[in-house]
Structures are given as structure tokens and as C-alpha cells.
Amino acid sequence: MLENFSGATRVHVIVGDPIAQVKSPFGVTQAFESHGRDAICVPAHVAPADLTDWWAGTKRARNIDGLIVTVPHKFACTAFCDTLSERAKFLGTVNTVRRNAKGQWHGDMFDGLGYVRAMEKNGCVLKNKRALLVGAGGAGSAIAHSLVLAGVSELAIHDPDDQRRQSLIDRLNSLKLGKVSQGSPDPTGFDVAINATPIGMKEADPTPIDTTKIHSDIFVGCVITAPAITPLIAAARAKGCKTVTGAEMFAQVRELMVNFLLEI
């Protein structure tokens, strides 16, 4: 993959806290190579308190062309962008930023679009369905937006941060595309239930959605990539549910991010 790695190689950075769990560096670098580009993706472990200072120095490196953003920086990194897509502007969050020919930074958010594509690929039909989403953070906000655009009749959002949850609900309801309201971890009555939080990354974590209320007709999703099969997904599959994992989501998001970074 890195046979031609040299000082001419273009650099893209994925930033997060923590960062060891991400699969992006290999997958994105591989994608760059498949497009015939001399470019790599490297990880950066940056705490929230250090993010602004880190970016002030990082963006001065003239061989850095792009930034991939993961937890917990997706909201904060919007402030680093000179311009935003309409989607990122609506959500106030980004997961991908590229430098244009004038040296300005343009941001977009692909988590939601990629997640919906992964769901549909795994047999989930969203039109007129009732969906429960746990998590209103960067990824959760984007997924909520894409679920509404995909035509769900109702979306219930659960998040312990009342202000963040209600702000997202109000913005989505302004689109007048379906009913959006406050939810809970109880998936009773829903056709789709998705975890968009980090809960499930640690072995001692509780399940973010009440698995005792899950039945085989519910489509269950989780954004976590490590472990590959979270306890939520394992419990759902044991009950005969169709599912989508974080890795399956990332495969779709990666394609969108790479096309954006390379302006394909």
C-alpha cells in the first residue's frame, strides 16, 4: 500500500478522543490507493481541551489536505470550517473537512447518509416506519436527519442531554417531514431501533436499548465499530432481528468521505 510513500504523499488526519478504536486510517488509505492517489490517512489523539490549539498548528502544514472527525469533536470542528454544506450547516456538525484550492476548509457530514445506505442495503425499508434513535450527538444528529429525509413517519429520540435532544427535535420538526418527539430506551411499538451512542464499547456497559422489549420484527442498528458485534446487536440477532453494525455503516460512510476528500 505504501510502496511510493514519500515526502510528496498527501496527508489526511482523523482526529478523536479516544482514537485507538477507529478503523479509518487503513481503510481510507486503501481507498485513496484504489483511486490512484498518493495519499494516506493518519490518526491523531487529541483531547477536547487541546483541539483548538492542535488545529491551529495542524492546518499550517501545507501537505495536509483533509480532516476526518470522530467522537467527541464533530460539533466543535464546525468552527474550523470556512464553509459548510447545507447538511452540515443544518446539523451544526461535521465528520469530514477538505482544503480547497484557495486554502479554505469546507466541511460536510456523512454519518447519517452512510448509515441509511447501510440499513437499506441490509433490507430495511424506512418509508412510513416508526424509528427509535438513542443518541443526539454528532453521529446521532446526522442519522436522525437522514431518517427523516428517508421518510420515516415517526422518529423518537432519546438522549440524557435535554438541551441537545430538544434542539435536534425542534430543528427536525421545522422540516415538516414527519413527527419527531422525545423517546426512551424502550423500543416497544417501533419498527427500527438504533444506538448512536458509545454505550457498548466497554464490556461493563449496559445495553443502550432495552433488549427485553426487542422482537424479531424490529430492525436494530448500532454505530459502534469495536467490538464489531456489540451486546445490543448480539441480543437482536439472537431474537431473529435484521441488523446493521458500525462496520457496515463505516463502509458506506468511508466511500462518501473519500469521494468528498478527493472531490470525485
Residues annotated as catalytic are 74
Distance CA(194)–CA(134), nearest Å, equals 6
Considering Cα of 145, then 150, then 151, then 152, what sign does the dihedral take?
Answer: negative
Question: Sheet containing 130-134: which strands, arranged edge to edge?
Answer: 179-182, 154-158, 130-134, 192-195, 219-222, 243-244
Give the side-chain half-sphere CA count within 13 A for 69: 29
**Counting beta carbons within 10 angstroms of the beta carbon of residue 244, is it exposed (0 to 12), middle (13 to 18) or buried (19 or more)?**
buried
> Is 83 in a helix, a strand, or coil?
strand
3-state helix, strand, coil in the chain (%, to 5): 35, 20, 45
Would you list the DSSP string of 233-253?
HHHHHHTT--EE-HHHHHHHH
User: Which three cell numbers mark 237?
Assistant: 440477532
